[in-house]
């Protein structure tokens, strides 16, 4: 009402003044005053009214904006709830953890949004109450979801019930949000209407005010026209001059704009950057300064002569990444040196997209970049409007600078690439130098050994000359005796050969057919295919039992023949008495339970824990005695096995309450094929050979069997095992044939390994897999002349997943072994053409074949020498379980040959597919297990035993050092080599820290994978190769070093690894240090170190200085220190002793000598 009255009053005043203005009676000056006053009043009134109106609009606008904010917050809260709800449903349905990501990211935002919403509506009481209810509902819903996370088991167990329970909470939240949004939209409509009414009034007022001012202005123009017409000419002249000044200012502004742009772009091009980074920074500055919406930078690839996208801003997804010269607008612009401008862009061209929509560019600018007549690239800019002329001038000005910067960046990249290649070549050269140094050390050692050998040969030559003279005299005296004995020797030799051949032939010819019969009968009896009747199965069982009885008879006869002929070899070894008795008790406990006999075993006090004997033969004797006792003892009888200590050795007594033996029959039972009843084993069954064999075996073992028995009361057989040694086996008498006298004994000629391909014959062949082999197949070579048994072995091998090749003679077997290099060989010893012994000699003397696993399956017994050369031995005939055991052993041994390597990396090394393939190409039997973090690596190291570890140090070398230290502490195998993989250069200090605990460092390069394979092969195989003689010496050495702690100071991790492995086998706890300074620190940390092995040449502090400081400390004056040095010059020993060393040993280190030195100084 007040504003309307003010408007009315103002109108009255304006009308009065307007009438005065038109009154011609007033002077021009007065009318001008009136006109100006009238205009001033109108402007003032209009301004006041406009201010009031706009103030009201601003207030209403804030409330409208407030409503929009409330609605937006409510909608955001609703969206968060829907995202969490969808993520939970997807997770409960698929069990995939990545669906929980929205919950983990959005969950913490929900409650703050609800609280902010409540604060926004604090001015509106109804809305504030609704917001409070909504906040409580949201808290309840979040608590429900939090409870579901804790109870993960029920989440997957009953997802439908969870959805049903969750729905009411969700509906409550969604409904409350909807109520708040509806109320705010209603308030928004009201406030918008009020604002629009205010705007209408303001518009009307402005229109009225404008009309009045126009009228006043027209009046004043009419009044003042005549007064001002004279001044117009002067004013036009002033305007013309002002125009000139403005043009000059505009030119100066354009020049300033151009120079500023050039400065900004030059600044973006400064510094050393890659081409892609340089292009991106330049393009960003161009787009920002020229205020264009989008742009692209294409770099010219000189090798492929194409333009490739290097940087882009606001480009569509489907933008073309590459252009050939002349292709399209961009490719065509590259062929020219002038700027290409495309206006009126067609509708099919790509659009510039934003969150608010998309639009088509108005014009395109393509700037070719040339440097010394050489194309560097093309920059493409797009704009919505017309192209400003200064833009083209700026592009022309800075094009050369950009070209120079791009050329410099590419030149820097080329230089860096060359430097990287030089670094790689440097690493290769260093590796070769290290290998050359080791070769020189080995040559030096070989030279020393050769000199010592020459001296020994000179001494031996003199001794042989004397012996030669003596032998000449003796040979003349023995010539007559040799001639007389030669005939008898030939006769005895021929007799022995006939007997040996007969036994071997009998063993092979009888057991070989029985072998196939027993196996096939057992397979028929098992009836796996269910295609035999019950009678046929019984028949197969009878065949198997009869064959087994026949086999037992054959074995007894052949065993007795071998014993009598002196062909049985004894394998004397320490035997645990308790273990042997336990095995026997467990074996016969089942028999006792079946027959209802009380059986007990007892070891009396005083019996030694271990005895030196042949366990197999002794157990054979005891088993035979126990079997006889169970045979002749009735139900509810008693049998006891008792071991006692006596003056003449250990007594093993087998007592029973069976039928007993009459006194006149007690010697008879030890005869072959005889029992106490005088018949040939008709009452109780059996061959009657058991006691005869047992008696002969005990003679060979240096003992005897004693018998005490009463007819009807039982018997006691006592095995007397003397401790004074084994009776030597009496070999057939052979007359020694003395060779003619010689000075030097020649080494035996090597066994030839060149095997000719098998001749084409019409002999029967067994179908095998030789034509179906691949690299991944596990191949077993079967060398067996019995076709039936070879077929059975082939079928078993195929069932176990092996491919097979069958050879029916020794010549074929050698040829196939050389050609196919199988993983394992099943070898029969009695073969045509070449026998099994010859095959073994050839296999073990050839470097390519000696690693092949050999399991002997033969009818006859093999010698101890043969058993030492093979991985397993099984005597024919075999049961099905025996064949199963053979293949189980092969699988276990093949698996045990593989070295396990743990790879710890969260980068490219973890997913590197070439590690396993390159190991396979090098035929390294290695398996890799990869983990991505330290926690998983620690778990693996605790639970499993790994042979080596590869650590990817990553980009942060400090974290890499910490990981290395923790992994070294977690490793149960303290001698395990750790190889550190680096993908960037590090400082010398960091490299020195790595070398203290890492066995080797491999840097990322073109040859890094080959280098990694070299290091693995070195540590897993070459440094672990120890001769059998050295191993025997180490095992035979005294245990005086076990449990001792020593300090090993050496900067060469290869030496540290090999010495740690050697000393670890002796039970020594090894503390390592990489230099003299660290050695002193380790001495302070460990007070119980008994000896120090100190390398002389070390970084930071050498061995001489370290030993001097050790001796300067009174606590270590008597601590043994053995100096290790790669030099063996005169005076080195004295220099080391003077520095404080207790003793001295030169590299390469002789393991036996080192252990002897340590034993001397530590005992």
Starting at the earlier edge strand, list the strands of the sheet with 340-343: 322-324, 306-313, 294-301, 374-383, 363-371, 340-343
Cα 414 to Cα 282, 375, 409, 1005, distances in angstroms: 21, 17, 9, 16
Over the stretch 286-313, which tens digit does the pLDDT of each residue have?
888 888 888 888 888 888 888 888 888 8
pLDDT value for 672: 56
Q: Which DSSP helix (H) or strand (E) runs through 381? A: strand 374-383
For the stretch 60-117, pLDDT in tens is: 777 777 777 888 888 888 888 887 777 777 777 777 777 677 777 777 877 888 788 8
Query: In degrees, to the nearest 5, what angle opens at C-alpha 799 toward C-alphas 796 and 803?
Result: 85
Instruction: Decide: helix, strand or coil at residue 898.
Output: coil
Band (599; pLDDT cuts 50, 70, 90): very high
| Sequence-separated (6 or more) residues with CB below 8 Å from residue 780 | 797, 802, 803, 804, 805, 822, 823, 824, 825, 826, 890
- Distances 1055 to 467, 1023, 1152, 1163 between C-alpha atoms, Å: 45, 9, 16, 25
- Does the pLDDT at position 9 exceed 70? no
Contact partners, residue 345, CB within 8 Å, separation at least 6? 360, 361, 362, 363, 364
Q: To 10 degrees, what angle do helices 389-526 and 880-896 make? A: 150
Judge if 779-896 and 1026-1162 fold alike in CATH terms.
yes
Asked if the model's pLDDT at residue 638 lies above 60, the reply is: yes
Task: pLDDT band for 354, please (50, 70, 90 cuts).
Answer: low
CA atoms within 13 A of residue 449's CA, in its CB half-sphere:
9
* pLDDT of res. 679: 42
How many Cβ atoms from other residues are within 10 Å of residue 56's Cβ?
17
Nearest one of 1024, 1028, 1052, 1043 to 1125, comparing CA atoms: 1052
Q: How far apart are CA 433 and CA 261, in angstroms?
A: 56
* Alpha carbon distance 887, 899 (integer Å): 21
* Residue 120 · residue 69 · CB < 8 Å: yes
| 3-class DSSP state of 666 | coil
Lowest mean pLDDT: which of 249-263, 539-553, 892-906, 1078-1092? 539-553
Q: Counting beta carbons within 10 angstroms of the beta carbon of residue 936, is it exposed (0 to 12), middle (13 to 18) or buried (19 or more)?
A: middle
pLDDT for 78 equals: 80
User: What percent of the chain is predicted at pLDDT more than 70?
Assistant: 79
User: Any residues with CB less than 8 A from the CB of 1034 and at least 6 apart, and which?
Assistant: 1062, 1065, 1066, 1151, 1155
Which of 544-558, 624-638, 679-693 has the least mean pLDDT? 679-693
Q: Are 998 and 1053 in contact (CB under 8 A)?
A: yes
Lowest mean pLDDT among 521-535, 819-833, 1029-1043: 1029-1043
The phi and psi torsions of 650 (rounded to 5 degrees) equal -105, 130
Distance CA 66, CA 72 (A): 10
Between the alpha carbon of residue 964 and those of residues 908, 957, 970, 974, the distances in Å are 18, 10, 10, 13
pLDDT, position 1093: 93
Q: Would you say the C-alpha torsion 513, 516, 517, 518 has a positive or negative sign?
A: positive
Instruction: Enter the CATH code of domain 270-387.
Output: 3.30.450.40
Pairing mode, strands 649-656 and 714-721: antiparallel
Q: Dig out the tokens for 70 from the structure.
A: 């409330």
Domain ranges of the chain: 2-225, 270-387, 571-721, 779-896, 899-1022, 1026-1162
Most confident of 257-266, 624-633, 984-993: 624-633
978-993 pLDDT tens trace: 888 887 778 777 777 7
Q: What was the pLDDT predicted at 375? A: 86
- The first and second tokens of residue 623, run together, are 């088993």
Burial class (CB in 10 A: 0-12, 13-18, 19+), 747: exposed
Instruction: Give me the pLDDT at residue 691, please.
Output: 80
Residues forming beta bridges with residue 930, ordered by sequence position: 903
Strands of 865-962 (E only): list them: 872-875, 899-904, 926-931, 948-952
Residue 675's pLDDT band (cuts 50, 70, 90)? low
Contact 986, 957 (CB under 8 A): yes
pLDDT of residue 1083: 92
Checking if the pLDDT of 538 tops 90, the result is no
- Of 3-17, 443-457, 469-483, 693-707, the one with minimum mean pLDDT is 3-17
Taking the C-alpha atoms of residue 376 and residue 366, their distance in angstroms, rounded to an integer, is 13
How, if at all, do strands 357-359 and 322-324 pair? unpaired
The pLDDT assigned to 643 comes to 93
Please give the pLDDT value at position 138: 81
Identify the weakest region by mean pLDDT among 128-137, 217-226, 352-361: 352-361
- What is the per-residue pLDDT for 677? 52
What are the pLDDT digits (tens) for 131-174? 788 888 888 877 877 777 766 656 666 667 777 777 888 888 88
pLDDT tops 60 at residue 912: no
Average of per-residue pLDDT across 874-886: 82
DSSP string of 1054-1069? HHHHHHHHHHHHTT-E
CA nearest neighbour of 877 among 581, 1149, 547, 1106: 547
Arithmetic mean of pLDDT, 878-895: 83
Token output for 245: 């000044």
pLDDT tens string 937-967: 888 888 888 888 888 887 787 888 888 888 8
Indicate if the pLDDT at residue 425 is higher than 90.
Answer: no
Q: Is 950 exposed, middle or buried (0-12, 13-18, 19+ CB in 10 A)?
A: buried
Q: Give the model confidence (pLDDT) of 775-791 as tens digits.
A: 778 899 999 888 888 88
CATH of 571-721 given 3.40.109.10, 3.30.565.10, 2.30.42.10, 3.40.50.300: 3.30.565.10
Residue 1103 CA to residue 1086 CA, distance in Å, equals 19
CB 370 within 8 A of CB 337: yes
pLDDT at 1135 over 70: yes
User: Distance between CA atoms of 288 and 122, rounded to whole angstroms?
Assistant: 43
Whether residue 598 contacts residue 636, with contact meaning beta carbons closer than 8 Å, is answered with yes
Identify the top-confidence range among 153-167, 422-436, 677-691. Answer: 422-436
H/E element, 706: strand 704-710
Superfamily name with CATH number, domain 1026-1162: Response regulator (3.40.50.2300)
Phi and psi torsions of 1074, nearest 5°: -90, -15
pLDDT at 380 over 90: no
Choice between 1055 and 757, residue whose per-residue pLDDT is larger: 1055
Residue 513 CA to residue 792 CA, distance in Å, equals 13
Find which of 474-478, 799-803, 998-1002 is predicted with most confidence, using mean pLDDT: 799-803
Greater model confidence, 20 or 373: 373
Q: Which whole number is the average pLDDT over 34-45?
A: 72
- Looking at residue 742, its pLDDT comes to 33
Q: Which fold has domain 899-1022?
A: Rossmann fold (3.40.50)
> What CATH architecture applies to the domain 779-896?
3-Layer(aba) Sandwich (3.40)
φ, ψ of residue 167 to 5 degrees: the values are -60, -45
Q: 1046: helix, coil or strand?
A: strand
Residue 512: pLDDT band by 50, 70, 90 thresholds?
A: low
> Is it the case that residue 1031 has pLDDT exceeding 60?
no
| Banded model confidence at residue 738, pLDDT cuts 50, 70, 90 | very low
pLDDT for position 653: 94
% of the chain beyond a pLDDT of 90: 7
- Do 728 and 735 form a contact (C-beta atoms < 8 A)? no
Residue 322 or 162, more confident: 322
Residue 220's pLDDT is 67
User: What is the overall mean pLDDT for the chain?
Assistant: 77
153-162, 322-331, 398-407: least confident range: 153-162
**Cα dist from 425 to 315, 435, 1090, whole Å:** 42, 15, 44
C-alpha triplet 728, 730, 736: angle, nearest 5°: 110
Lowest model confidence (mean pLDDT) among 450-454, 856-860, 897-901: 450-454
């Amino acid at each position: 009402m007040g504003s309307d009255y003010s408007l009315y009053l103002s109108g009255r005043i304006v009308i009065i003044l307007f009438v005065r203005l038109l009154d011609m009676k007033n002077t021009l000056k007065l009318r001008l005053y009136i006109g100006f006053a009238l205009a001033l009043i109108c402007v003032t009134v209009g301004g006041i009214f406009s201010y009031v109106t706009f103030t009201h609009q601003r207030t209403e606008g804030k409330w409208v904006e407030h409503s929009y904010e409330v609605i937006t917050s409510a909608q955001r809260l609703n969206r968060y709830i829907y995202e969490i709800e969808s993520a939970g449903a997807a997770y409960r349905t698929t069990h995939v953890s990545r669906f929980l990501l929205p919950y983990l990211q959005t969950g913490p935002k929900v409650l703050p949004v609800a609280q902010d919403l409540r604060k926004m509506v604090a001015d509106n009481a109804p809305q504030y109450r609704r917001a409070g209810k909504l906040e409580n509902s949201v808290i309840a819903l979040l608590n429900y979801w939090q409870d579901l996370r804790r109870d993960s088991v029920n989440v997957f167990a009953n997802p439908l019930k969870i959805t049903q329970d969750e729905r009411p909470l969700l509906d409550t939240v969604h409904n409350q949000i909807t109520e708040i949004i509806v109320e705010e939209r209603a308030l928004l409509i009201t406030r918008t209407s009020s604002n629009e009414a205010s705007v209408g009034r303001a518009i009307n007022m402005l229109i009225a005010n404008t009309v009045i001012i126009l009228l006043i202005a027209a009046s004043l123009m009419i009044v003042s026209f005549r007064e001002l017409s004279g001044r117009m000419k002067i004013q036009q002249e002033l305007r013309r001059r002002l125009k000139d000044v403005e043009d000059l200012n505009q030119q100066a502004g354009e020049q300033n704009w151009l120079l500023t742009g050039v400065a900004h772009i030059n600044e973006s091009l400064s510094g050393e950057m890659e081409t892609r980074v340089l292009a991106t920074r330049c393009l960003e500055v161009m787009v920002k300064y020229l205020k264009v919406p989008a742009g692209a930078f294409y770099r010219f690839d000189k090798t492929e002569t194409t333009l490739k996208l290097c940087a882009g801003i606001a480009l569509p997804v489907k933008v073309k990444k590459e252009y050939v010269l002349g292709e399209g607008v961009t490719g065509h612009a590259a062929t020219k040196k002038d700027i290409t401008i495309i206006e009126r862009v067609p509708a099919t061209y790509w659009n510039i997209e934003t969150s608010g929509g998309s639009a088509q560019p108005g014009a395109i600018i393509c700037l070719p970049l040339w440097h010394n007549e050489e194309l560097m690239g093309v920059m493409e800019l797009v704009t919505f409007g017309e192209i400003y002329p200064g833009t083209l001038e700026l592009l022309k000005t800075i094009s050369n600078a950009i070209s120079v910067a791009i050329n410099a960046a590419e030149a820097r990249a080329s230089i860096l690439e060359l430097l990287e290649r030089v670094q790689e070549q440097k690493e290769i050269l260093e590796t070769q130098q290290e290998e050359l140094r080791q070769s020189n050390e080995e040559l030096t050692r070989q030279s020393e050994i050769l000199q010592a050998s020459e001296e020994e040969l000179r001494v031996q030559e003199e001794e042989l000359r004397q012996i030669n003279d003596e032998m000449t005299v003796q040979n003349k005296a023995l010539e007559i005796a040799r001639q007389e004995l030669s005939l008898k020797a030939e006769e005895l030799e021929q007799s022995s050969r006939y007997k040996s051949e007969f036994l071997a032939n009998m063993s092979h010819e009888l057991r070989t057919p029985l072998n196939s019969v027993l196996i096939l009968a057992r397979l028929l009896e098992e009836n796996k295919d269910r295609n035999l009747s019950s009678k046929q199965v019984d028949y197969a069982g009878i065949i198997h039992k009869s064959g087994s009885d026949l086999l037992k008879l054959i074995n007894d006869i052949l065993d007795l023949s071998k014993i009598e002929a002196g062909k049985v070899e004894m394998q004397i070894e320490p035997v645990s008495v308790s273990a042997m008795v336990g095995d026997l008790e467990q074996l016969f406990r089942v028999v006792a339970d079946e027959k209802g006999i009380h059986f007990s075993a007892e070891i009396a006090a005083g019996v030694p824990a271990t005895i030196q004997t042949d366990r197999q033969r002794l157990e054979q004797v005891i088993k035979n005695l126990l079997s006889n006792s169970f045979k002749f003892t009735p139900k509810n009888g008693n049998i006891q096995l008792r071991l006692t200590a006596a003056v003449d050795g250990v007594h093993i007594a087998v007592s029973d309450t069976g039928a007993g033996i009459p006194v006149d029959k007690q010697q008879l039972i030890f005869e072959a094929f005889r029992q106490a009843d005088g018949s040939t084993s008709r009452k109780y069954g059996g061959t009657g050979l058991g006691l005869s064999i047992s008696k002969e075996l005990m003679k060979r073992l240096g003992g005897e069997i004693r018998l005490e028995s009463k007819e009807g009361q039982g018997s006691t057989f006592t095995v007397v095992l003397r401790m004074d040694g084994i009776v030597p086996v009496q070999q057939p008498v052979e007359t020694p044939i003395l060779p003619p006298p010689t000075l030097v004994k020649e080494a035996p000629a090597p066994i030839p390994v060149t095997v000719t391909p098998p001749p084409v014959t019409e002999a029967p062949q067994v179908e095998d897999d030789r034509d179906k082999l691949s690299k991944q197949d596990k191949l077993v070579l079967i060398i067996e002349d019995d076709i039936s048994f070879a077929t059975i072995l082939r079928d078993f091998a195929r069932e176990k997943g092996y491919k097979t090749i069958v050879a029916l003679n020794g010549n074929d077997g050698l040829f196939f072994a050389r050609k196919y290099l199988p993983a394992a060989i099943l070898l029969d010893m009695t073969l045509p053409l070449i026998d099994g012994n010859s095959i073994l000699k050839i296999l073990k003397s050839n470097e390519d074949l000696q690693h092949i696993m050999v399991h002997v399956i033969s009818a006859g017994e093999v010698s101890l020498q043969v058993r030492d050369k093979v991985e397993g031995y099984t005597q024919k005939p075999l049961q099905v379980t025996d064949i199963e055991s053979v293949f189980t052993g092969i699988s276990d041994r093949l698996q045990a040959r593989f070295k396990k390597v743990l790879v710890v990396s969260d980068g490219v090394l973890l997913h590197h597919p070439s590690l396993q393939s390159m190991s396979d190409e090098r035929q390294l039997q290695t398996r890799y297990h990869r983990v991505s973090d330290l926690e998983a690596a620690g778990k693996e190291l605790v639970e499993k035993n790994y042979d080596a570890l590869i650590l990817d140090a990553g980009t942060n070398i400090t974290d890499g050092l910490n990981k290395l230290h923790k992994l070294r502490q977690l490793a149960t195998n303290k001698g395990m080599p750790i190889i550190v993989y680096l993908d960037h250069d590090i400082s010398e200090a960091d490299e020195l820290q790595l070398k203290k605990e890492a066995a080797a460092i491999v840097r990322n390069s073109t040859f890094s994978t080959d280098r990694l394979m070299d290091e693995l092969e070195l540590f897993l195989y070459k440094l672990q190769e120890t001769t059998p003689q050295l191993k025997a010496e180490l095992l035979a050495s005294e245990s005086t070093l076990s449990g001792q702690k020593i300090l090993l100071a050496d900067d060469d991790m290869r030496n540290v690894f090999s010495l740690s492995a050697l000393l670890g086998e002796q039970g020594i706890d090894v503390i390592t240090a990489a230099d003299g300074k660290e050695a002193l620190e380790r001495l302070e940390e460990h007070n119980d170190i008994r000896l120090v092995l100190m390398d002389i040449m070390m970084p930071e502090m050498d061995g001489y200085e370290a030993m001097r400081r050790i001796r300067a400390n009174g606590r270590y004056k008597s601590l043994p220190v053995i100096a290790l040095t790669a030099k063996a010059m005169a005076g080195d020993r004295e220099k080391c002793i003077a520095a404080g060393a207790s003793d001295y040993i030169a590299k390469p280190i002789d393991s036996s000598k080192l252990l002897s030195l340590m034993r001397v100084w530590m005992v």
